[in-house]
Amino acid sequence: MTDIMTGKMFVFTAPSGAGKTTIVKHLLARYSELEFSVSAATRVRRPHEVDGRDYYFMSVDEFRHKIDQDAFVEWEEVYKDQYYGTLKSEVDRIWKIGKHIVFDIDVKGAMNIKSLYGPRCMSVFVRPPSFGILKERLINRNTETEASLNKRILKAEAEMEYENSFDIVLVNDVLEISLMEAEHIIETFLYGISKT
């Protein structure tokens, strides 16, 4: 059993469209000892999303109030007026229930978490095989308006530069292989061995 002293964390980051969310969802379904860190966010909720499960949705004013209260481990204005952040209360909540934390956050936030938690944290940069493929995936995902899509493409291009700042780079080309590699990362960091 882990607790607030022995809990570990995995921070997954990637340029938007690299497929990290698919990998994170797979790991959460596969390992009951992992729990997803639900971030606070100010963007509009997408139709399939649930408040408190996908994000703690809040207004920009509420978010800024929490910044003033020093309630965040890290936060970023990821896009203009779109704030995202990890609440201290979320990290405490997960370690208190005896689980290890999984983050799905942007590149800067991931670097901040890694520098705060050091050896308790395994940081993983998920990378598409190429920038062209990433662009194609973003367009095909079809969840964004054109303006929002362009914003994400520009940001993704800049984020590709940061892969060397992470413990591990996971190239997401063939999904089945990436999932096995991700399982290997989890098992090795938690137990020192891997079944895969």
Q: How many residues bind ligand 5GP (CB under 6 A)?
A: 13
Number of C-beta neighbours around residue 19 at 10 A: 19
Reading the block at residue 19, the tokens are: 């497929």
137 lies in the binding site for ligand 5GP (CB under 6 A): no
161: exposed, middle or buried (C-beta count within 10 Å: 0-12, 13-18, 19+)? exposed
Residues 4-23 that bind ligand 5GP (CB under 6 A): 16
For the record, the structure tokens of 140 come out as 């095909």
When asked if residue 172 is in the footprint of ligand 5GP (CB under 6 A), the reply is: no
Q: Which stretch binds ligand 5GP (CB under 6 A): 28-36, 101-109, 122-130, 163-171?
A: 101-109
Whole-angstrom Cα distance, residue 70 to residue 152?
28
Q: Which is nearer to ligand 5GP, 78 or 185 (CB)?
A: 78
Binding site for ligand 5GP (CB under 6 A): 16, 39, 43, 74, 76, 78, 84-86, 104-106, 109
